[in-house]
Amino acid sequence: MQPDTTRQVLLNAAFHEIHRKGFQSASLTAILGKAGVTKGALYHYFDSKRALGYAVLEEVISDHLRTLWLDPLAETTDDPITQLKDCLINAGEQLNEKDIRLGCPLNNLAQEMSPIDQGFRERTDVMYKLWLQTISSALQNGQQLGKVRKDIDPEETALFIVATLEGCMSMAKNAQDKAVLLRCGKVVLNYLDSLGT
């Protein structure tokens, strides 16, 4: 097995186990079993369980965020509201029932770890700030294009949008019902429309 492959297999296994159980309750033994390697391999690539968790955030989850939100929103467009709505719809379509039950990986980790581990908090914070900034820029761009209401504060609105998205995911996760996500998302889409001119 190629060295990079083993590291990647470990990261993926860790991501799934952490997504399922949370970081603190994620068992290294379970991760190793899922990855099909032993403890020697893990501690060859990562200094500690915490370091593994950081890597999952910085490499796996960060990629998800980029693919679903940052990259699409970075593309130039003449209609940012539609762009945002497309992002939302697309992100929703990617999720199956299991994903709903497990919730947003970023939010899960942020909620669990930010109060008790500074390293996690700093890393989730960076990712949220990127997310907020990207949406804020899109809204600002929309204002300059005359497609977004000028009486809204882009930063504040971006914060509200992300909060609402995470909230929708939370409600759907607890209800274990994708229909809840869709109903919630529908209201979000209406709200996004209300930002247009």
Residue 69 DSSP code: I
Q: Applying CB under 8 A, which part among 28-36, 73-81, 138-146, 157-165 lies near a copy of itself?
A: 157-165
Q: Give the separation between CA 123 and CA 4, rounded to whole angstroms.
A: 23
Query: Would you state the structure tokens that stand for residue 100, as one six-digit string?
Result: 């709903």
Q: Applying CB under 8 A, which part among 1-9, 54-62, 71-79, 100-108 lies near a copy of itself?
A: 100-108
Site for DNA in 20-59 (CB under 7 A): 26-30, 37-41, 43-44, 48-50
- Using DSSP, state whether 25 is helix, strand or coil: coil
Task: Give the up-direction half-sphere exposure of residue 102: CA atoms within 13 A in the CB hemisphere.
Answer: 17
> Is 115 near DNA (CB under 7 A)?
no
Largest separation between any pair of C-alpha atoms in the chain: 59
Q: Give the separation between CA 49 and CA 67, rounded to whole angstroms.
A: 26
Residue numbers of the site for a copy of itself (CB under 8 A)? Answer: 20-22, 24-25, 101-103, 107-108, 110-112, 114-116, 121, 124-125, 128, 156-157, 159-160, 162-168, 170-171, 173-176, 180, 183-184, 186-188, 191, 194
Residue numbers of the site for DNA (CB under 7 A)? Answer: 1, 3, 6-7, 26-30, 37-41, 43-44, 48-50
